[in-house]
Structure 1
Amino acid sequence: MRLKIIHETSYFYDPPAQGLVQSLRLTPSVHQGQRVSGWTISVSGGQRGASFRDGAGDWIEGWTVRGPVQEVVVSIAGQVETRDTAGVLRDHRETVHPLVYMRPTAVTGTDPGLCELARSVQGEDALDLAHRLAEAVSAAIAYVPGVTESHTTAAEALALGQGVCQDHAHALIACARERGMPARYVSGYLHSNAGGEPHDAAHAWAEVHVGALGWVGFDAANACCPDDRYVRLGSGLDADDAAPVRGTTFGTGEESLDVRVQVEEMEQ
């Protein structure tokens, strides 16, 4: 599948910020399931700094904006050719050991409810267990936008029984780690409109390390493994660690933002 992606995030500061520094994880991953062409990143009024590929295989760009500045727009545009690898992350170069992803965070820590959910299923092997855990999370947390916040924990989402893709990913990560399997959060894009029309499509899912097979993606929010509709950006221990945009703003004003993401299928 050939996908055209436009991602624009506008930051507003009142009063104007004295300046800001951003770290962007907005370049699609390099692996067998996707090939990137014509990818551009720009920051209004910004100066590009150092760029590097980190130990997790993600491409990081640093940007600096000098103030005073009232609005900053981060714009991404490009094309990605994707193929279905049944969720398996093949030929993705990284140096971080999988066991690093056994470490819990504030939002992926377990409680009795998550432990019970994680122990409620059995699998014939590690891959089957990962599939069954994803199914269990999908059944336990209904997809309902607007009921959780960015800081909602996996335990809170499970207790509520509702959430969005971030909550499904956090819950699956917590359950997989409880069963002894490294797991991590993945940010990216999803093309889900069969008509091929542009639509909002920022998305997140989880990857579970299943022995010799390596990392396998599971989208519990949609009860499937990532296929050629998905574009992978980067990963981390949780949503905050894998955030596409991270940074520091200098000033005392309030920050607000507006995000626009479009994914459109193009003719081959």
Structure 2
Amino acid sequence: MILTVDHVTKYAYDVPMGAAVQSLRLFPSRFEGQREIEWLVTIENGIRGGSFRDGAGDKVEGWSVRPPVDEVVVTVRGKIETFDTSGVLRGHRELVHPMAYLRETSATWVDDGLAKLAEEVTQGLSEPLQKAHRLSAAIGEAIAYTPDVTDAHTTAAEALAQGQGVCQDHAHALIAAARSIDLPARYVSGYLLASEDGAPHEAAHAWAEIWVQGIGWIGFDAANSCCPDERYIRLGSGLDAREAAPIRGVAQGGGEERLDVTVALGQVQQ
């Protein structure tokens, strides 16, 4: 499948800021499930800095914007060919040991509710792959997809307790539950073609990856009860949403910031 991406993120300030610096993880991962055809990342009036691949294999690029800064506009436009690997992250090069992803964060700390759910739904299972599938299904059932009831600071435990959330909450809860039974897990950011007709639509998405010995990293999208397939574009990963954020930055000054994001994903007829 060939997918097109049009992603614009705009930060606007009520008073000019002294300077702005951005760290971008907006580049497609290199693995057997996708092939880059075209990809361009720009910041309006920005200066491109250095780039590198971190230990998780993700490309990170720095940008700066000269003052005065009224707004910062980050644009991503690209075309990717994708392939269904049944969620398995084959051919992806990274240096971080999987056991490093057993570490909790403030967003993925495990409370009694998460620990109990993980223990109950995996009881009697011996295979890690079976446990991972069972956990993903259980989180999808326990947290109903409901926009605007959580925010960027909602934890996995809080989302499970209220039984509602969005893809970020599903991913955090699945990661926390997996780690509670010693399965390394991490957060993945990317895009998803969700419309049946292939028309462009809001498409920023997140899911989890769980490490299964003998297979490797496998993606699980609890929000959609599936493993990532050719409809998904993978960008980067981290211990949680904050660490895997596609855009992180700072602006110097005391102005108020307003954020506007539009993401459209389309399918090219083949």
TM-score (norm 2): 0.98
Match runs of 1:246-257 below 5 Å? 246-257=248-259
- 1:185 corresponds in structure 2 to 187
For 2:187 and 2:144, how far apart are their aligned partners in 1? 19
Q: Give CA deviations for 1:78-121 in whole Å, capped at 9, x if unaligned.
A: 00000100000000000010011111000100001111111111
Which residue identity is paired with 2:10? S
Structure 1, unaligned runs of 5 or more:
none
- 1:236 corresponds in structure 2 to 238
Matched, 1:150 2:157: no
Which residue identity is paired with 2:225? A
Counterpart of 1:212 in 2: which secondary structure? coil
Counterpart of 1:47 in 2: which secondary structure? strand
- 1:95 corresponds in structure 2 to 95
Match runs of 1:34-45 below 5 Å? 34-45=34-45
Which residue identity is paired with 2:139? V
- 1:17 corresponds in structure 2 to 17
- 1:161 corresponds in structure 2 to 163
120-129 vs 167-176, which moves further: 120-129
- 1:8 corresponds in structure 2 to 8
Q: Give CA deviations for 1:158-216 in whole Å, capped at 9, x if unaligned.
A: 00000000000000000000010100000000001111110000000000001110000
TM-score (norm 1): 0.99
Query: Hey, which bits of structure 1, 4+ residues long, moved more than 2 A?
Result: none
Q: Give the CA deviation at 1:124.
A: 4.0
Counterpart of 1:158 in 2: which secondary structure? helix
For 1:165 and 1:196, how far apart are their aligned partners in 2? 20
- 1:174 corresponds in structure 2 to 176
Matched, 1:33 2:44: no
Q: Give the CA deviation at 1:17.
A: 1.0
Q: Give the CA deviation at 1:31.
A: 0.2
For 2:134 and 2:202, how far apart are their aligned partners in 1? 29
For 2:209 and 2:142, how far apart are their aligned partners in 1? 19
Structure 2, unaligned runs of 5 or more:
none
Count of aligned positions: 268
- Sequence identity, in percent? 60
